[in-house]
Each structure stands twice: as C-alpha cells, then as structure tokens.
Amino acid sequence: MNGAHALLHSLVASGVDVCFANPGTSEMHFVAALDGVPEMRAVLTLFEGVATGAADGYARMADRPAATLLHLGPGLGNGLANLHNARRAGTPIVNVVGDHATFHARYDAPLQSDIDAVAGSVSGWVHHSASSADVGADAAAAVAAARAGTIATLVLPADVSWSDGGAPAAPRPVASRVTAEPEAVKAAADALTCGERCVLLVGGDATRADGLAAADRIATATGARLLTETFPTRLERGAGVAPAGRLGYAADMAVHQLRGARHLVLVGARSPVSFFAYPGQPGDLVPEGCTVHEVVVREGAAADALAELADLVAPGTTPTLARASRPQLPTGALTVETASAVVGTLLPEGAIVVDEAITSGLGLPGATAGAPRHDWLTLTGGAIGYGLPAATGASVACPDRPVWCLQADGSAMYTISALWTHARESLDVTTVVYNNSAYAILRGELQQVGASGFVVGDGARAKALLDIGGPRLDFVALATGMGVPAVRVDTAEGFAGALRRAAAEPGPHLVEAMVPPLVA
C-alpha cells in the first residue's frame, strides 16, 4: 500500500470522510487513490478559498472535521483567508498539503515555498510526513489534533505519497476540552448575584440551544444582560430557542451595550475589543471600572459551564423561549428592510443560514427572531469571501436541510466559483446576492476612521475605490454560466416569489436582489 492509500484509509477510520479539493501535480497519487477508498467523498472546488471555506462550513454543522486537499504553499496560501475565519471560529479542519518530492526540494523549483510559515499562521498543528510508513499514524494524529478544536495541517511530499510501505492507522484518542474550574464558576456566580450591573457574554458552544437556555435562566434570575459574541461560530435561534442579542459590530454600539457594567462574565467568549482602531476611541471595549470574569475559554466546554452556573444562581428558573412569529409579507420596492422581512416571512423550518450579507443584512436578526428554528453561521474572522464556500460545506454536511446563503455582492466575487460546486454537487443552497453595487461597509468606515476629512474636492477618486457598479456585476449571468438557475428581482413580491420557487425545486438557486446601498 502506498502512502496515499494509507492516508485516505486512516482519515476515514478517524471519521473524516469528506475532502474539499483543489489538487495539483504533487497530489496526483492522492487523487488516484480515491477510487480505492470509496468511503471518502471528494468534492472538487475551483479555488482553494472555496475548499477551505467549505471545510469550515461543513465542520460547523457536522461537529467533526472535513479535510482539504491543497497544492503546495501557493495553494495553501490561496485558502488562507477562510482558514483564518475557521481558526477564529475554533473549527476543526485537516489540511492535506502536497509538497515536492523530498529529493526534489534541493532544486528550489518554481513552486517551492516555506509551507510551514504559511500553515503556521492559521494552524495549531503542523507536521511533515517523512515516509510512507509514517503517513497513517500522521493522519490519525492530524484528526485527533483537529478534533481538539484546531486546524491541523499535514504536509505530504509527493514521493512519500507514491512510495510503498504505508499502512492504515487506528483513530487516536481526542483530548478532552477544557472545563471550567470550580473557583471560576463560583467567582462568576458571586459577581452575578452581587447586585451590581453585569453583562453575560457567551460564545463557543454556548450559542447552541442548551447553552442559551442556561444563559437565559442566569439572566432572568440575576438581571444580567445576555449577549453573544458579535460573530458566533454557530448560533441556534428561532421559535423554541432562548433568544440572545449579539454584541454590536460597530464600536459605538458595543460601547452602548456594555456601558455601566461593573462585571463582565465571559463564558466561551473573548473579552470584547473593537474590530479596528478609530481616532479618539478605545480599542478595549470593557468599560472603565468593570471587572472581567472568565469562566472558561472559547474552545472549552462553555455550555456545560453555563449549566453549572445556572444551577448555582438560578435554581428552579426556566428559560424564556422565543415565540413563533413572522413579519407581514411586504410589498413594493425592494430595500434592505423589505428584503429582511421577506426572509423572515419565508425562512423554512430547519434552515441553515450562512450570513455574509454585511450592511444589507442589518435587519435580518429582528425579522427572523421568531422564524422556525434554524442555525445561523457568521463571519467569525471578518475575512470576506466566506459565505458561498461555507454554504457549500454546510449543505454537504446536512443534505436534508435547506441552506440559505445571504451574500453581499462585493464579498461574493471573492469566491463566486463556489456556485459551480453547488451545481456540480446538486446542493440545496439558495443564494441571495444583495446587489447594491458598492462596498457600502467601507463607505461607512471611510467616515468612521476620519479619512473622509482628508478627501480632496468631490472625492471622486476615493469614492471610485468603494464603488463596484461600473461595470455593474450581473450575478444572473454569472450563476447561469456555472449551472445555477438564477433570477433578478427588485420588488418584495418578486423576491418572495423567487424564494418560493427555489424552495419548491431541487438543487441550487440564486436570487439577485437589487437593493440600494445602506451607506451612500
């Protein structure tokens, strides 16, 4: 058995049976070995950033890692932005990165690069397989590392892949997640019951239904304000789930939400900071005089810690669950507000929503709060181009659930080729592209950072860098060119009709929603 076969058998034995791939010459023996390991599903993507983002979306919904197959250092580099998002989400991923044959490395061939340096920026575990005899055990170790909540990158030289002597390896034990220390739980309980204003900020697995129910009990019993991190990895919400607001993205909004707090209790959440530096504004969002109590780290057993905390401070308290409610179906011109109302009216039971709507999605949380129970995946690391790939992976992980990808136009173009994979794999993904022909969020940032005061004259040159309307992007043409049925709408009635048709027909669909930019 060669190294490639040993690798595939070992991955499957450890529970990794999906690989999102964009292979090259160094990975051809892995490709050839796929026919001998039918348990491994290989999904071709046309860009490495789609492969890595799909692995992220898959793992968020499957609660186990997927693999990626990437070509040398440049291929890994192309996938780095969505690996950054996955790292910030704590998503388990196993990257298999092909490398030149060990005897070829000394020639410094054109694609030779420092793979360790590239991988190290996003990976918690990096290893080179030295021989085909090592590959099986290395693969099992990579999966165990990933299952502990990190990105594992296994570098596979071509000769190690093609050489004989490989053997499958059994799964390795997975390290237990960090649990809350009793002293930390007790300190948080004391803070929550001291009578001073408290904010309870939750993240990690605490944003699933059980964790939110415990958090709601705590908030009800103590009067603490309950918030989730700005961008949760996976937020369960809708009717029947305890609701929780999200910490604002804009620094001034977050400051308002936290103002006056004397205690900030973190359960699976990082201490809040602003996303960027702004002149004259603090980067650390913890209010002055506020004591921070970290109960458990983001990668730890946060939901369990909340259950312990709830038993201490809220015995006998029951959570308040969101009631079923829908907005009225709007009519007339399509705007950010009416588009959100349409989504809230029609979102199906059990949907997975992948949200990269950016400014066009500001009305979505309120409009969908009482929709049937669903999952919401967010842009954890802020590196755009996440939505379409993550929807790919989420649909592969949960083929029996509808996936709605709510996508801004500018960020869609980073990974638009994911639509081709949607069509090739017949995925039940409905993509809504909000086309406002602008980087609207950057228009707002131009003002926030004070740069607008340096614009000369009418600012035409500066504005041109934030305008993507010339030429206007045609997402219907782009989608149909990759095999995805598509329609353009500019009214609420048209939008509702398009979403209903997409729900009634199998396979992927795209709706190009023409909306005005929220920031002029």
Neighbours of 89 (CB within 10 A): 28
The model's confidence at residue 453, banded by pLDDT at 50, 70 and 90, is low
Q: In what order do the strands lie in the sheet with 509-514?
A: 235-237, 374-377, 352-356, 403-408, 429-435, 509-514, 486-489
Describe the crossing of helices 3-13 and 132-147 by its angle, rounded to 10 degrees.
30
pLDDT for 280: 84
**Where do the CATH 3.40.50.1220 domains begin and end in the chain?**
182-313
Residue 289: is its pLDDT beyond 60? yes
Average pLDDT of the segment spanning 369-391: 97
State whether residue 341 is helix, strand or coil: helix
CA angle at 303 for the pair 298 and 304, rounded to the nearest 5°: 110
Among 270, 267, 271, which Cα is nearest to 285's?
271
Describe the crossing of helices 302-313 and 182-192 by its angle, rounded to 10 degrees.
50
Pairing of strands 374-377, 235-237: antiparallel
pLDDT for 383: 96
pLDDT for 134: 97
Position 203, amino acid:
G
Helix residue spans in 287-385 (DSSP H): 302-313, 336-346, 364-368
Q: In what order do the strands lie in the sheet with 18-21?
A: 41-44, 18-21, 66-71, 93-99, 151-157, 125-128
pLDDT for 378: 98
Average pLDDT of the segment spanning 138-161: 97
Find out whether 486 and 466 touch, Cβ atoms under 8 Å.
no
Tally the residues of the chain: 520
Distance CA 145, CA 25 (A): 27
Among 230, 163, 219, which Cα is nearest to 188's?
219
Radius of gyration of the chain from its Cα atoms, rounded to whole angstroms: 24
Asked which of 88-97, 213-222, 463-472, 498-507 is least confident by mean pLDDT, the reply is 463-472
Q: From residue 206, give the alpha-carbon distance in Å to each of 186, 298, 299, 303, 352.
A: 18, 9, 10, 4, 18
Average pLDDT of the segment spanning 439-453: 65
Helix-then-strand count for the chain, H and E: 21, 18
Average pLDDT of the segment spanning 290-310: 96
CA angle at 170 for the pair 165 and 173, rounded to the nearest 5°: 135
Residues 6+ apart with CB under 8 A from 72: 24, 26, 97, 98, 99, 100, 111, 113, 115
pLDDT for 440: 65
Distance CA 446, CA 32 (A): 50
pLDDT for 281: 85
Complete DSSP assignment for 166-229: ----PPPPPPPPP---HHHHHHHHHHHTSSS-EEEEE-GGGGSHHHHHHHHHHHHHH-PEEEE-
Environment class of 124 (CB within 10 Å of its CB; exposed 0-12, middle 13-18, buried 19+):
middle
Tokens of 136: 């099986």
Residue-wise pLDDT for 302-312, tens only, equals 999 999 999 99
Distance CA 299, CA 145 (A): 13
Q: From residue 371, give the alpha-carbon distance in Å to each of 127, 246, 324, 510.
A: 45, 17, 6, 22
pLDDT for 13: 98
Residue 220: is its pLDDT beyond 60? yes
Residue-wise pLDDT for 456-499, tens only, equals 566 667 667 777 777 899 999 999 999 999 999 999 999 999 99
**Where do the CATH 3.40.50.970 domains begin and end in the chain?**
3-162, 336-514
Residue 40: is its pLDDT beyond 90? yes
Asked which of 82-96, 115-129, 274-288, 436-450 is least confident by mean pLDDT, the reply is 436-450
pLDDT for 304: 97
pLDDT for 438: 72
Residue-wise pLDDT for 319-376, tens only, equals 999 999 999 999 999 999 999 999 999 999 999 999 999 988 999 999 999 999 999 9
pLDDT for 282: 87
Complete DSSP assignment for 258-306: HTT-SEEEEES-PPPB-SS--TTS-SB-SPTTPEEEEEE-TTS-HHHHH
CATH fold label, 336-514? Rossmann fold (3.40.50)
What class has domain 3-162?
Answer: alpha beta
Residue 454: is its pLDDT beyond 60? no
Complete DSSP assignment for 94-152: EEEEEE--TTTGGG--TT---HHHHHHTT-SEEEE--SHHHHHHHHHHHHHHHHTTSEE
Residue recorded with tokens 């996955």: 86
State whether residue 398 is helix, strand or coil: coil
Average pLDDT of the segment spanning 169-174: 95
Per CATH, the homologous superfamily of domain 182-313 is TPP-binding domain (3.40.50.1220)
Q: In what order do the strands lie in the sheet with 245-246?
A: 245-246, 225-228, 198-202, 263-267, 291-296
pLDDT for 449: 64
CA angle at 509 for the pair 506 and 513, rounded to the nearest 5°: 145
Average pLDDT, the chain: 95
Residue 126: is its pLDDT beyond 90? yes
